[in-house]
Structure 1
Amino acid sequence: MALSVNTNVGAMVALQNLNATNTELGQTQNRINTGKRIANAKDNGAIWAIAQGQRASSNALNAVRDSLNRGTSAIDVALAGGESVSDLLSQMKEKALAASDSSLDTNARSQLNEDFKALRDQISKAVTNADFNGVNLLKTGATAIAALANSDGSSKLTVNPEVMALSGSIVTVATTGTIGTVTTAAAMITTVNTSISNVSSALARLGTKAKAYETHNTFIGKLQDSIDAGVGNLVDADLAKESAKLQALQTKQQLGVQALSIANQTPQTILSLFRG
C-alpha cells in the first residue's frame, strides 16, 4: 500500500469500523435501558405497528371489563332484591294460610291482615331500592342492560329486566291485596304460590346471566393477559443476550479505538524517510 499524507486509508477504515461499533453499542444500550428490542417505529416499522394495534386492543379490553363489572353489580343487586321479595312472599303465604282458618276470631284475623299488608308493602320498597348506579332490573319500566363483550363494541351481553312490582306478571299479588276474610285469604294462597313460583324462575334467569357475566369477565382477563404476553414476545428484549452482547461490543470498541490510534500514527513513518 502506498504511503500518503493526504489519504490515510487505514485510519478511514478503522474509523468506519469504530462508528459501526458505536452505533451497535448505542442500540444495545438503548435495549437494556428500555427493556425493548423494538421501542419505536424506526426500529422495525412492521412489528411496531402490529404491537401497537395489539396494545390498543388490550387497552380497549379494560373498558370491556369495567362494563362487565358494572353489569355484574347491577345483577347482584337485582338478585338480592329478588331474594328479599321471595322471602317476603313466603311470609305472606304463612299469614294467608293462617287467615284461611275459619275458627279464627275477628281480632286475630285483623292482626294477620295487618301483618300481611305490611309484608306486601315491603315488597314495593325492596323492588324500588334494588338500584345500582341508576340501574334497576326489578322496578316497573325497567329496561334491559347490555354490557360490552369485545374490544370493538360489536358484541354485547344483554340482561332483560325481571319486573317484580306488585300487580305485575311475576308478582301477581295486587297492590291492595288483603286477607281480611276467609274467602280472600284462601284465594290469596293461590296468588302467592303463583308469585313465589314466578319469582323463583326470574331469579334463576338472573342467576344464569350473572354467571355468564362472571365467566366472560374471567375470559376477558385471560385474553388480555395473552395479548400483553404476545406484545412482549414481539418487542421485548432478551436482556441476558443483550448483556452478553454489550460486553462484547465494549471490548470491540476499545480495540477499535486502539486500531484507529495505530492507523493515525502511520503518516508519522513518512517523516522517518526524510531524516538524515
Structure 2
Amino acid sequence: MATVSVNTNVGAMVALQNLNKTNKALNESQTRINTGLKVASAKDNGAIYAIAQSQRSDVKALNAVTESLNRAVSIVDVALAAGEGISDILIQMKEITLAAQDTGLDDTARATLAEDFEALRNQIRQVSQGATFNGVNIIDGSQTSVSPLSSTKGDKMRVEAKNLDVGGTIVTLSSAATFASVTAAAAQFAAVELSLKNVSGALSSLGTASKQISSHITFVSKLSDSMEAGIGNLVDADLAKESAKLQSLQTKQQLGIQALSIANQAPQMVLSLFGQ
C-alpha cells in the first residue's frame, strides 16, 4: 500500500512533471507553427542549423553572381544593339561608295555622296561611344573585356571587347575617310566591305557571349532554387503534422491539469482517518 503523507504528494509531483513535459512539447509545436520552421535556431538542432546556415550563405552568394551576370548580359546586349546599328550604317556606306564609282557622275554629285559618307562615318563613332551600360562600353576601345562572376568561389567568365569605332582593326575606315574621285571611292568601297565583314564577325562573337551568359544565368537560378528547396527540407516544419500534434497536446494538457488537480486533493483523504 502506498504511503499516505501530507508532506510529500508523489502523485502531484508525477502529474506536475507530466504536465510540464506536455507544456514544453506544446510550446515547441506552437513555435513551429508560428515560424514555419522545425529548426529555427541552433538550440533546436545544432548540426542541421549549421548546415542550413552554410547553404543560406551560398544562396546569398549566388544572388551576387546573378546580379553580376545580369549586368554583364546588359552590357553585351547594348553593345550588340549598337553593333547592329553600325552594321546597318556600313551597308549604307557601301551603297554610297559604289554609287560614287559611277564615271557618269559629275563632281558635284560625287561631292554630295561624299558628304553623306562622312556623316555616316561620324555616326559610327557616335553609336560606338554611346553604347554604354552602367558606365561600361565594350565597343568603343575603352575596355579590353568584361568579366562577370560565374560562381560563389569567385570564378569569372570573360567576354572580349570589340572595338567598333572608326580607325580600329574591325572598322578599318579612318576617322577622316572620304573620297573625291572614282579611284578614292573604290578604295573606300573596299575598306567598307572589309569593315562590314569584320563587324559581322564581331557581332557573332558578342552574340555567342550573350547567349552563354544568359544560359549561365538560367543555371544559377535553377541552382539557387534547388539549394533553397534543400534548406526547406532540412528546417521547414510539416504544418499539417504540427497542427494535428497541437490538437493532441492541447487535449493532453487539459487532462494533465485535471490529473494534477486530483492529485492535489489526495492529502485531504487523511482527514477522513481522523473522522473529519
Q: Same fold (TM over 0.5)?
A: yes
Determine the C-alpha separation between the residues in 2 that align with 1:23 and 1:254: 14
Offset of 1:5 from its aligned partner?
1.3
SS in 2 for 1:157: coil
Determine the C-alpha separation between the residues in 1 that align with 2:259 and 2:141: 88
Answering whether residue 30 of structure 2 is matched by residue 29 of structure 1, we say yes
User: Hey, what does 2:156 align to over in structure 1?
Assistant: 156
Query: For structure 1, which runs of at least 5 residues remain unmatched after alignment?
Result: none
Contact residue 80 and residue 207 of structure 2 kept, 8 A: yes
Contact residue 23 and residue 253 of structure 2 kept, 8 A: yes
SS in 1 for 2:266: coil
Deviates more, 1:223-232 or 1:193-202: 223-232
Alignment of 1:5-154 (within 5 A): 5-153=6-154
User: Hey, what does 1:205 align to over in structure 2?
Assistant: 205
SS in 1 for 2:157: strand
Offset of 1:219 from its aligned partner?
1.2
Q: Deviations over 1:153-195 (max 9, x none)?
A: 2x11111110011121100111111121111111111111110
Offset of 1:140 from its aligned partner?
2.2
Offset of 1:106 from its aligned partner?
1.0
Determine the C-alpha separation between the residues in 2 that align with 1:130 and 1:270: 97
- 1:174 maps to a residue whose letter is S
User: Hey, what does 2:256 align to over in structure 1?
Assistant: 256
Offset of 1:143 from its aligned partner?
2.6
Determine the C-alpha separation between the residues in 1 that align with 2:85 and 2:179: 21
Contact residue 141 and residue 162 of structure 2 kept, 8 A: no
- 1:260 maps to a residue whose letter is L
Offset of 1:254 from its aligned partner?
0.8
- 2:178 maps to a residue whose letter is T
Determine the C-alpha separation between the residues in 1 that align with 2:77 and 2:260: 75
Query: For structure 2, which runs of at least 5 residues remain unmatched after alignment?
Result: none
Tell me the TM-score normalized by structure 2: 0.97
Offset of 1:224 from its aligned partner?
1.0
- 1:128 maps to a residue whose letter is Q
Q: Deviations over 1:120-163 (max 9, x none)?
A: 1111111111111110001123231111111232x111111100
Determine the C-alpha separation between the residues in 2 that align with 1:121 and 1:269: 110
Determine the C-alpha separation between the residues in 1 that align with 2:65 and 2:45: 30
Answering whether residue 231 of structure 2 is matched by residue 225 of structure 1, we say no
Offset of 1:105 from its aligned partner?
0.8
SS in 1 for 2:147: strand
Q: Deviations over 1:21-58 (max 9, x none)?
A: 01001100111111111111000000011111111111
Determine the C-alpha separation between the residues in 1 that align with 2:178 and 2:145: 32
SS in 2 for 1:148: coil
Determine the C-alpha separation between the residues in 2 that align with 1:145 and 1:18: 66
Identity rate, percent: 58
Superposition misfits of 4+ residues, deviation over 2 angstroms: none
Tell me the TM-score normalized by structure 1: 0.97
